[in-house]
Amino acid sequence: MELIDGNRIAGEIIAELKAEVAGFPGRRPCIALVRVGEDPASVSYVRKKEKTAAEIGIESRIILPPVSIGQAELEELIDSLNNDAAVDGILVQSPLPKGLDESAVFRRIAPEKDVDGFNPLNLGKLAQEDDTGFSACTPAGIMELLARSGVDLSGKHVVVLGRSLIVGKPAALLALQKKAGANATVTICHSRTSDLPAMTRQADVLIAAIGRAEFVKAGMVKPGVVVIDVGINRVADPSKKTGYRLVGDVDFAGVAPLASKITPVPGGVGPMTVAMLMKNTVKAYRLSHGR
Ligand code: NDP
């Protein structure tokens, strides 16, 4: 069994981006990071994004509207960032406080600055295999993890657990694409799938993104499977200072001995999401500068 090291691979991507950005004449790429409220996970995610941007040489503009901001005001803020030629990418940290319509805010972001890839136009471009669009960061990170671990999906059966617009569906679309590294046969499973273990046992590559702690057990996979565990779940652990530990959607201890390759949680898909956000920001900069 080989561990797919997301920290190492994300580090490679960050180093490549840093070299690329150093070669840009004129102003540096810029990402606007919008965080509303003090949700501790959001605070830490935005800090991580800011830190990674700085490491690459991407400028970040941190915008912290008051938690009392209304929908119209927030959308006006997005409009002003859309119209600001010095901003290449816009990220609105999810979740927004109750009362704000998150999907309306995401839709408001101009498609060419939608570095999270949540705008319907970018999802459409993904379906059409139009490379001028932006793929959602976590699924794009999954494809990088596979490619850089020497896994060619061509002809393989990829089973995706979960059909969310942020992970499951775009991951399935990327694996299905008619291009090098992809060309998989794809099955998407969800909460209404009957006999899930019969599906997952067919997987050459299993992508688990359901948000259920250690759900995928050894009896649900075939020997030699490649496992990408997207899940981030907290389980109570009194031995930890925090009182919890993070586990994936896969029972790592049971499944890893059967797998040919597997991502750990943490340290697998997680670091890739931020790296791909930065990659999308550099792409937005390049597209707007005709490079
Ligand atoms: P969602 O809750 O949006 O979607 C979960 C999907 O899993 C749904 O399609 C749901 O089915 C399906 N599902 C839930 N329970 C089961 C079950 N028992 N059997 C089969 N299918 C099931 O989650 P996300 O896609 O946003 O996230 C999934 C996981 O990935 C979470 O743990 C999240 O924290 C993590 N995540 C990690 C990221 C990273 O950077 N590593 C980034 C984003 C997410 P249905 O549609 O029928 O309800």
- Could you report the per-residue pLDDT of 135-153, keeping only the tens digit for each? 999 999 999 999 999 999 9
Distance between CA 266 and CA 144 in Å, rounded? 17
**CB burial string 18-49: b at 16+ within 10 A, e below:** eebbeeeeeebbbbbbbbbbebeebeebbeeb
Quick check: CB of 164 below 6 Å from ligand 1? yes
The rounded Å distance from CA 161 to ligand 1 centre is 8
pLDDT at residue 291, rounded to an integer: 78
pLDDT at residue 40, rounded to an integer: 92
Total tally of structural domains belonging to the chain: 2
Specify whether 146 is located in the same domain as 265.
yes
pLDDT at residue 200, rounded to an integer: 98
**pLDDT surpassing 90 at residue 160:** yes
265 in a domain, yes or no? yes
4 in a domain, yes or no? no
Q: Which CATH number do you get for residue 37?
A: 3.40.50.10860
Residue 31: CA count within 13 A, CB half-sphere:
31
Residue 290: pLDDT band with limits 50, 70, 90: confident
Mean pLDDT of 211-230: 98
Quick check: CB of 270 below 6 Å from ligand 1? yes
Q: Determine which helix (DSSP H) or strand (DSSP E) holds 206, and give its type and residue range.
A: strand 205-208
Distances (CA, A) of 232 to 127, 153, 208, 266, 268: 27, 24, 11, 8, 10
Specify whether 54 is located in the same domain as 179.
no
Residue 120: pLDDT band with limits 50, 70, 90: very high
Rounded to the nearest 5°, which phi and psi values hold at 30?
-135, 130
Helices (H), the chain: 6-22, 40-56, 71-82, 102-108, 120-127, 137-148, 168-176, 196-200, 252-255, 269-288
Mean pLDDT of 207-228: 98
Quick check: CB of 232 below 6 Å from ligand 1? yes
Give me the domain span that covers residue 200: 137-270
The rounded Å distance from CA 171 to ligand 1 centre is 12
Amino acid type, 47: R
Mean pLDDT of 29-39: 97
Provide the 8-state DSSP code for 250. Answer: B
The rounded Å distance from CA 254 to ligand 1 centre is 21
User: Does residue 25 have a cis bond before it (omega within 30 degrees)?
Assistant: no
Q: Which of 170, 159, 182 is nearest to 135 (CA)?
A: 170
Q: What is the mean pLDDT of the chain?
A: 97
123 in a domain, yes or no? no
Specify whether 186 is located in the same domain as 100.
no
pLDDT at residue 262, rounded to an integer: 98
Please pick, among 116, 204, 229, 251, the residue that the annotation labels catalytic.
116
Among this protein's residues, is 79 annotated catalytic? no
Specify whether 31 is located in the same domain as 101.
yes
